[in-house]
Amino acid sequence: MIKSIFDWLKQPLGLIAVGITVLTLFSVAAYGIYTTQQAPEQPIQFPHQTHVAFGIQCLYCHPGASKGPAAGLPSQAKCWACHNQIAKTETSALLAPLKEAVLSGTPIQWVPVAQVPDFVQFNHRAHIAAGKNCEDCHGDMSKVTIAQNPQVFNMGWCLNCHVESAGEDHEKLVKLSDCGTCHY
């Protein structure tokens, strides 16, 4: 029984079938990996570059970054404070979800793009205080619509920067490479 299957596989048609199967599996896997790397779908195609072009500072909408662990999303009231004075808000299809959300009082369901795992205790404030700029980690927002992550936030990437910024300062290196600085 098994032998007949092997025999069938050995003939040209069988070899083609094996080839197709392997190719299919490969492409499925490749597609699977590809999908994981795609930006998630957002409720609003928020154009960061437009806002940056108006000269709005990052901290205007994400003030938490200089004060504590989370940068935070701006409240809808904050969005509306400007947008209800902009005529385009009434007409633009892109802005319709914002208008609807604010007027109906339902929160917009943003999908975070920059995330660290839950076992990492990240603090924005310390990084800002150490002289890091937003774009060092989050990329140049004047070039993107929806925020994208130019880098994967993995431990090697964090640690690399930590070790580099410590330089020759041993005490700082101890602090910045201590497991307990980020994991507890």
Partner 1 sequence: MSEKFSRRDFLKLAGVGAATSAILTGCGPASRYVKREPYMQMPEYNYNGQSTYYATTCRECAAGCGLIVRTVQGRAIKTEGNAGNPLNLGKTCARGQATLHGLYNPDRVQEPLKRSARGGDSTQAMDWDAAIQVVADALKNNKPEEIAFLMGMAPDHLFDLVSDLAKATGMNAPLRFGALGMFEARATLSKAAENLFGEASLPFFDVGGAQVVFSFGANFLETWLSPVSYTRGFAGLREAKTKMRGKFVQFESRMSQTGGKADEWIPLRPGTEALVALAIGKLASEIRGGAMPRAFENVDPIDAASKSGIKLETLEHLAGMFAGSNGALAIPGGPALGQSNGLAVAEAVLALNAISDNFGKPGGVYLSALAPNQSEYQRPASAQEMQEFVQKMADGKIKVLFVHGVNPLFELPTALGFGGASKSVSQIISFATFPDETAREADYVFPDHHGLESWGYQRVATGSAQPVLSGAQPVVSPYYNTRATADVLIAAAQLAGGSFASALPFKDEVEFLHGKVSALMGEVDGSISAPDLPTFMAYFQQHGGYWRNSDERVAPKAGDALNREISAEVAEFAGEGEFFFVPFVSPTLAEAGANKPWLQELPDPTTTVMWNTWVEMNPETAHELGIENDDVVRIVSEAGELEVPVYLYPAIRPDTIAIPFGQGHTAYGRYAENRGVNPADLLGQHFNEAGDLAFAGMKVKVEKTGAKKPLSRLESMMGVYGIGLGEEH
Partner 2 sequence: MAYDKKHSEHAPSGQHGGHSEEYLREKHLMLDPLPRGQMNDMVMESMLAKPTWKFWVVASLLAAIVAYGLFYSWGRMIAEGLGIAGVNRPSYWGIFLVNTVFWIGISHAGTFISAILRVFRAEFRRPFTRAAELMTTFGLVQAGFSIFMHMGRVWLAYWLMPYPNQRMIWPNLHSPLTWDLLAITTYLLSSTMYLFLPLIPDVAMARDRSTGWRKTFYKTLALGFRGTEGEWTHLRNAMNIFAFAIIPVMFSVHTIVSWDFAAATRPGWSSTIFGPYFIVGALHSGMGAAIAVLAVIRATMKHMDYFIRGEHFDAIGKLMLIISMAWAYFFFNDYMVQWYGGDVWTKQLLHFHEAGPMGWMWFAMLICNIVIPWAILWNPKWRATPWLVATVGIIINVGMWFERYIIVPISLSINRMPFTWRLYQPGVEIPLGIGTLAFFILLYMIASKIIPLIPVWEVQEGQMAHELKKFGRETVVSVSELE
Partner 3 sequence: MATLSDLKISEVKLGEEHTGKWGMVIDQDICTGCQACVAACAMENNLSFVGEEDSGYGRSMHWIRIERFWEGEYPEVKMTPNQPMMCQQCGSATCEPVCPAFATVHSQAEQLNLQVYNRCVGTRYCANNCPYQVRSFNWRDYERPEPLPNQLNPDVTVRRRGVMEKCTFCIQRIHKAQDKAKSEGREVVDGEFTTACAQACPANAITFGRVDDPESMVSQLAKRSHGVKHLEELGTLPNVTYFKGG
Residue 156 contact partner, candidates partner 2, partner 3, partner 1, none, CB within 5 to 8 A by sort of partner: partner 2
Range in contact with partner 2 (rule: CB under 8 A) among 56-64, 127-135, 156-164, 166-174: 156-164
Q: By the 8 A CB rule, do 123 and 68 touch?
A: yes
Q: Using the rule CB under 8 A, which residue among 17, 70, 116, 155 binds partner 2?
A: 155
CA-angle at 149, arms to 46 and 174, nearest 5°: 135
The least CB distance from residue 178 to partner 1, in Å, is 22
Phi-psi region of 133 (alpha: psi -120 to 50; beta: other; left: phi over 0): beta
State in angstroms the smallest separation of the CB of 109 from partner 2. Answer: 31
Structure tokens at 66: 């200089």
**Tokens representing residue 58 in the block:** 């990052």
Segment contacting partner 2 (CB under 8 A): 39-47, 105-113, 134-142, 150-158? 150-158
Task: Examine residue 121 and tell whether it contacts partner 2 (CB under 8 A).
Answer: no
3-class secondary-structure state, position 35:
helix
> Contact residues for partner 2 (CB under 8 A)?
154-157, 159-160
